Amino acid sequence: MVKVLVVGYGVIGQRLADGVALQKDMELVGVVDAAVTLSTRSLKEKGMPYKLYAAFPEAKEKFEAAGIPVSGLLTDVLNDVDIVLDATTGGVGAKNKALYAQHGKKAIFQGGEKNEVADVFFHGYANYEKGLGADFLKLTSCNTTGLIRAVDCLDRKVGIEKVAITIVRRVADPGDYHRGLTNALQVDKAPSHQALDLMTIMPHVDATGILVHTPVTHGHFITVVATPKKDISAEEVIAAFKEHDRIRVVRLEDGFLGNASIFKYARDLGRPRGDLYEICVWEDTVVKSGKDVMFGIHIPQESVTIPESIDGIRAALEMQTDRLEAVETTNKYLGLGAWK
């Protein structure tokens, strides 16, 4: 049984812990955090389903003062694990890397870290093989993760020559206040990093894109214009997406009118926190323009990277050397594809 530690129990860390706990061939040893937050307070109120370790002695004192049980320090538990999922704030993971290396532990970092922190910039479907046996992996961002899922799906069907994307980016996660209250759209300089990141993972695809920040919280929206190497009909594109266990095909006529509809549906399904691991593609947006194919994607930003993070564990520890066997195992334990 592979032993996993999650460092950073925030938006992503909570979801990583839950995702790992569902894997029948992995053991979640515990979670690590550095501050008394709503996340760690809720951990206590839920009866401490996961052991909590403090990032450093001062943090341990603060947890104990708040009545939150602590099982020890990060340095105490590192010797008991095989791999670390680092979900700390951007920049902290890079500092933690030296500690992981000192203890001889592999680690997987989230999209907020710079690429230089890792040996491999990783995506479970698109370049699983490159992560095999690696000591340090870095995940793509939420938008890039979902974008690559869709582009890789079509690329393996007919080959993709190039893509152009427009991202309508949610400005903050639900519950965040640090970005303030706004009534504006903010445009970033093109090309967006998501397009550049896609080319790092899939260098044979030419990609560019525009990003617009918008004052919503429940998900990003991406339009994709893809140029296939072989002609493919809109119906064939939809069929390809429906085969993919991390892609849901939804329709306007069924009530999926936008990001809020999808978030509501996830809550109605009883998904914890209203999370979806899957991206959603609107069937109604899949159209042809000459040879090009256009479609629209919903990205559930808080949870979309969890499956690929678990794929990273499988690759780094060589639990499965075959890409499809690895992702299918992750999918099975997360319940992905069960709706089909």
Catalytic: 142?
yes
* Rounded Cα gap, residues 139 and 327, in angstroms: 15
Distance between CA atoms of residues 219 and 172, nearest Å: 9
Q: In the chain, what are the helix, strand and coil shares in percent, each to the nearest 5?
A: 40, 25, 35
How many angstroms separate the CA atoms of 246 and 256, rounded? Answer: 17
Residue of 55, 142, 153, 205 marked active site: 142
With 0-12 / 13-18 / 19 or more C-beta atoms within 10 angstroms meaning exposed / middle / buried, residue 297 is buried
Task: Note whether 60 and 87 are within 8 A (CB).
Answer: no
Of the candidates 40, 286, 298, 25, the residue with the CA atom closest to the CA atom of residue 167:
298
Q: Which uninterrupted H or E stretch holds 168?
A: strand 160-170
- Is 33 labelled as part of a ligand binding site? yes
d(CA 198, CA 133): 22
Q: Which amino acid is at 296?
A: G
Burial of 292 (C-beta count, 10 Å sphere; 0-12/13-18/19+): middle
For the chain, what's the residue count?
Answer: 340
Tokens 């933690």 map to which residue? 96
Question: In the structure encoding, which two tokens stand for residue 75, read together?
Answer: 């340095």
Please name which of 91, 87, 88, 57 lies closest in space to residue 74, comparing C-alpha atoms: 57
- Euclidean distance between CA atoms 139 and 126, whole angstroms: 12
Which of 176, 174, 260, 186 lies closest to 217, judged by CA? Answer: 174
Tokens describing residue 14 = 């909570």
Kind and range of the H or E element at 111?
none
Amino acid (one-letter) located at 147: L
Which residues carry a binding-site annotation for NAD(+)? 33
Please give the positions annotated as active site: 142
Which residues carry a binding-site annotation? 33
